[in-house]
Structure 1
Amino acid sequence: MTIPATPSAPRGSGLSDEELAALKPHVINLRRGQLADGPDGEGEYFSTAADVEAIFATHLPAFLAGRSGPVPLMVNAHGGLVTEAAGLRAAASRIPWWKENGVYPIYFVWETGLVTSLADALAGWLGGSRGPGDFKDRIVELAARFGQGERVWGEMKEYAEAASAGGGASVFADALGSFMNEHRGALTVHAVGHSAGSIFHSYFIPAAVKAGVDRFETVSFLAPAVRTDLFKEKVKDEVDQSIGQLSMFTMTDDRERADNCVRVYGKSLLYLVRAAFEPRIGDPILGLQDSVRSDPDLRDWFGEPDSPSSAQVVWSVADSGPYSSSDATSHGAFDDDPATMESVLRRIVDRKDVTPFPLPRAVEPLWPTQPRDVPAPTWPHSATRKALCVGINAYPDGADQLSGCVADAGAWATELEKAGFAVHLLADAQATRSEVLLRMLELVSTSAPGDTLVVQYAGHGTTAPDLDGDEAASGQGGNMEDEALCPVDFRAGELIIDDDLGLIWDQLPEGVALTLFFDSCHSGDGQRRILSQAELEQETTLRRLPRRIVLSEADREAFRARRGYTSATGSRGPAPSPGGPVDGQQKPHRELLFSACQPTELAYETAGHGDFTSKASPLLADAIGKLTNEQFLGRVVDGFGDRQHPKINGEKALFGRTFLGPAATPEPAGPSGVGGASGGAGTLTAVGKRADDAEVAALEATLAAAAGAAEHRATRVARLLRAIADVIEE
């Protein structure tokens, strides 16, 4: 970089051109894993291969000159919620301290895009809304997952891997290995990684060893966000071989649960990572105390600070001597905490006498604090009858396209509006996986006792690989798969499986009635029937289209990759229970599903409408509040025809509940004189006061914002898209 003759104005980081130029000997900037080597419209600091070469040709030799013995070289990787500007500021403020203590620092500033994407996805929460802690936390987790969280976290991990697999970190590793080979005994190498920086180093350390760095004397992970399986695969076995000592500084579980990484989320970032960002909910995270202590290998392997083990853990807050102390009480505080950083430094230089850590910088907010536009809620918070209608005809692949689904959604919406429902309609390109799930989540999470909710879907259905083994565990036998809805982007792996829906239905408050109308194949059971080409051609000629997709192997691989599995034979094994990170409790099943067909049948559309919709939607007006659910099904089935047979699925006690009536009201007696309790919801003695309007409005705004930016439990008995032929008994 050319230094101008006169001082320049500060950039986004607050650093001038002169200050940025002064970082060249110590800061390597990566963008998407590659060297950020040119002004491409992004960022304010650039690193080229020539800059890396200059470190080893000029800057590092100058630092070594006149110093005796091996000099420590420290490689730092920051966390995923650090912007380029924040990373540059941190490096500029800390580099002098390392050098004063005789350490040559290298800072990788690797841009992830995570903070901006998540701030957009959770914009509505930034005002500090209030509400029940556990319920609110679960909604934040699901909003982050169904919005941008899982996708951008996955991209960040891809950048971390790419950096050391031929990317910018490989350029540095190769140069470092060559330098150490040419200057034997001149350096010792050390790694420090905070939060997602542990993921970065899990790839960098093996790459550097392969490039000729014989040994990392110390590796210090601060509140590491790396999954335990990746840590074991890439790092653990290197200890005592190419790693001298590995240290972890992280919080006790009590402090993790008392942290507040986002102003509206009542736990630490590591809890949010485990519940919302990783593809498999509940995967163990190295920095979480309960993940370590529930893993026999790690529990026995990590010694306490005063143990002779080569792997030690310091549970903050801890005062265990000069090498093992930490005062950090939040996830983001570790790399700014004097006790932690001085302990890390002492391990690197192997002496107690060090220059004190500078006063902590002003705390860098994890989330932008500027006001953000928050969209209006999808449904009025005062509404007690709310419905979401989804219809998809225009799938991108012409062979997938249907003709009657949007009309179906419109027909249901019209009839429901006549009955007093506030209706939101998603059609075609609007109906992405993220949008559909977020709107479902908003519908459920903003409801209150006495509300009546409806979700209608018309589009393709399919089955997908059962990645977590819950279908086999259900005891149904056979080649079980998860049932799935096909949103408009399903060919990219973005299927909505029954597990996704279970996550949302589990949040349904007591006293809220939820009824589902699914006009698609695989809405009734897990049994499959594949049409022959001749059958498909015949049905098309008759303008009768089955709403069914058979996934190709490429589609199935895209789905596996989207869910964190590499291949049919290369998965990571059965996932932990999706409910594990929350409370581990079985939720009552309060939802009821009307499906368009039996398990062994296909759902058809004829002449511009789904057969089920054509028969069922006109019956709503005379059925709402007058018939039971079972009686309504009887009217739909009467005279329906023989090629498909609609069915009702859910808890048996819900069959006698009033059709689209509040869960808290008594059910009318059925034909046999049986009325009774409302199954999972129960009969309430009092409906109770609706939640404070401001709280409900804030919650609605949150999820609306998440949608704009865009597990079930393993023991779940009632399968929403695969209700078995006989009534399920819990």
Structure 2
Amino acid sequence: MVKKAVLIGINYTGTEGELRGCVNDVKRMHKCLIERFGFSEENITQLIDTDKSKTQPTGKNIRQALSELVGSANSGDVLFVHYSGHGVRLPPETDEDDNTGFDECIVPCDMNNITDDEIREIVDKVPKDCSMTIVSDSCHSGGLIDAVKEQIGDSTKKLEKGEESKEIEQEYWRDNNVHVVNRSLPLHSMINMLKQETGKDDIEVGNIRTTLFDAFGEDASPKLLNVQETEGQGEILGDIVTEKPKDNGILLSGCQTDQTSGDVRTKGQAYGAFSDAIQTILAERQGKITNRELVLGVREFLEYECYPQKPGLYCSDSNVDAPFIC
């Protein structure tokens, strides 16, 4: 058995979507994997954007790292992914749909978004008797593995006709000493950052996907290629499900699909509320802790600390009470 991990932290320094705690989250998780879970340094890949000597967390590099993680795995291996950064919900631009009505995405430093469908495809390639645990400390992270069973949470509840999702409060003071900026990238901010990245000035809601395809080509989401090729034909081929997805993926999400995850700034420190809660619960519970126990413990901790986000657990029934990571 080999334990392998990919850790992704993106602070978006110098942009209007700048965060502070994402790279710190990755550093803490890196230490935890080695000291608590027995990972070897050479089997941990880090992608961060605050050190140019490190591999940058672009869409292409993240896809490659995840592909190599799964492609090098054998039956019985332990695979782990931690993502701290922005999340975004892309509204439908065609008549396609999924179980939430949106594409939940993580946002690489170059805006080359990675969709929930892509994460699903990556998880489906995990070898038999090998699980892949994903911790996503980002907004809208509840739907990040498309079509996985929801065990704790209510992200798969569809909005009723005429019902609107909740207004997202981008930042707030939890108390006098704790300032919280949400890890949700509003569409107008994403469009501005995408304009800056691509040099295109005609981007608007309704052509985001085609812009991403035009800008990144074969390095963009395969789903964008399918949408592009079938545009105007009255049929979307990219999301046809030919067989039931495998259940090798385990997702611990920082919040529900319509919620935000907090990027906390206090007394010179910065971290993700969800990531910090995980480390707190792990420190309190020596020895084995199951996925269910961890998520419920984190939920209780965040509620006690007055954070509005509600973490979720998404996995097969057999993995609910499996030990976290290994």
TM-score (norm 2): 0.71
1: CA distance, partners of 2:10 / 2:71: 25
Does 2:254 correspond to 1:596? Answer: yes
Correspondence for 2:325 among 656, 660, 666: 660
2:3 aligned partner: 385
Contact preservation (8 Å) 2:277, 2:301: no
Structure 1: stretches of 5+ with no match in the other structure? 1-382, 662-730
Q: Structure 1: how far apart are the matches of 2:244 and 2:286?
A: 31
Contact 2:88 2:186 in 1 (8 A): yes
Give the whole-Å Cα distance in 2 for the aligned partners of 1:617 and 1:600: 24
Letter in 2 for 1:546: N
Q: 1:648 aligns with which of 297, 313, 322?
A: 313
Deviations 1:577-626 (A, max 9, x none): 4578xxx4433121111111134421002120001111102444676862
- Measure, in 2, the Cα distance between the counterparts of 1:598 and 1:577: 25
Structure 1 residue 616 corresponds to structure 2 residue 278: yes
Match of 2:97, SS state, is: helix
Query: What is the distance in 1 between the residues matched to 2:172 and 2:185?
Result: 15
Distance 1:649 1:634 in 2: 13
1:483 equivalent in structure 2: 104
Indicate the structure with greater helix content. 1
Could you tell me which residue of structure 2 aligns to residue 530 of structure 1? Answer: 167
Shift of 1:573: 3.8
**Which residues of 2 match residues 20-35 of structure 1 at below 5 A?**
none
Question: Is 1:505 the counterpart of 2:123 in the alignment?
Answer: yes
Give the 5 Å matches for 1:39-438.
384-395=2-13, 398-418=15-35, 419-421=37-39, 422-428=43-49, 430-438=56-64
Within the candidate set 454, 475, 480, 2:80 is matched to 454
CA–CA separation in structure 1 for the residues paired with 2:96 and 2:317 = 22
After superposition, where does 1:712-723 map in structure 2 within 5 Å? none
TM norm structure 1: 0.33
Looking at structure 2, the residues matched to 402 and 394 of structure 1 have their Cα atoms a distance apart, in angstroms, of 6
Identical positions, percent? 25
Q: Which has the higher contact order (CA 8 A, sep 6+)?
A: 2
Residue of structure 1 aligned with 2:301, choices 639, 659, 675: 639
Partners of 2:65 and 2:258 in 1: how far apart?
30
Alpha carbons of 1:538 and 1:632: their partners in 2 closer, same or farther (altered >3 Å)? Answer: closer
Name the CA shift for 1:636/1:536 in 2 (closer, same or farther; >3 Å).
Answer: closer
Structure 2 distance, partners of 1:572, 1:647, is 37
- Stretches of structure 2 that go unaligned for 5 or more consecutive residues are 144-154, 160-164, 192-202, 214-223
Alignment partner of 2:30: what SS? Answer: helix
The separation in 1 between residues aligned to 2:285 and 2:131, in whole angstroms, is 16
**CA distance 1:630–1:482, shift in 2 (3 Å):** same
Counterpart-to-counterpart distance in 2, 1:459 and 1:470 = 26
Give yes or no for contact 1:623–1:659 (8 Å, CA) kept in 2.
no
Q: How many residues align?
A: 262
Larger Rg: 1
Q: Aligned residue for 2:147?
A: none
Contact 1:539/1:545 (CA < 8 Å) preserved in 2?
Answer: no
Q: In 2, Cα distance between the equivalents of 1:495 and 1:501?
A: 11
Map of 1:560 onto structure 2:
210
Instruction: Please provide the CA RMSD for this pair.
Output: 2.9
Distance 2:94 2:30 in 1: 35
How far did residue 504 of structure 1 move?
1.0
| Cα 1:577–1:599 shift into 2, 3 Å | closer
Instruction: Give CA deviations for 1:324-371 in whole Å, capped at 9, x if unaligned.
Output: xxxxxxxxxxxxxxxxxxxxxxxxxxxxxxxxxxxxxxxxxxxxxxxx
- Compared with structure 1, are the counterparts of its residues 486 and 512 closer, same or farther at alpha carbon in structure 2 (3 Å cutoff)? same
Distance change (3 Å), C-alpha of 1:437 and 1:579: farther
Which residue type is aligned with residue 27 of structure 2? G
Give, in angstroms, the shift of residue 409 of structure 1: 0.9
Q: Do the aligned residues in 2 keep the contact of 1:393 with 1:459 (CA within 8 Å)?
A: yes
Question: What SS class does the counterpart of residue 210 from structure 2 fall into?
Answer: helix
Local SS of the residue matching 1:400: coil
CA distance in 2, matches of 1:648, 1:411: 21
Shift in Å at residue 406 of structure 1?
0.5
Structure 2 counterpart of 1:547, from 180, 183, 187: 183
User: What letter is aligned with 1:650?
Assistant: C
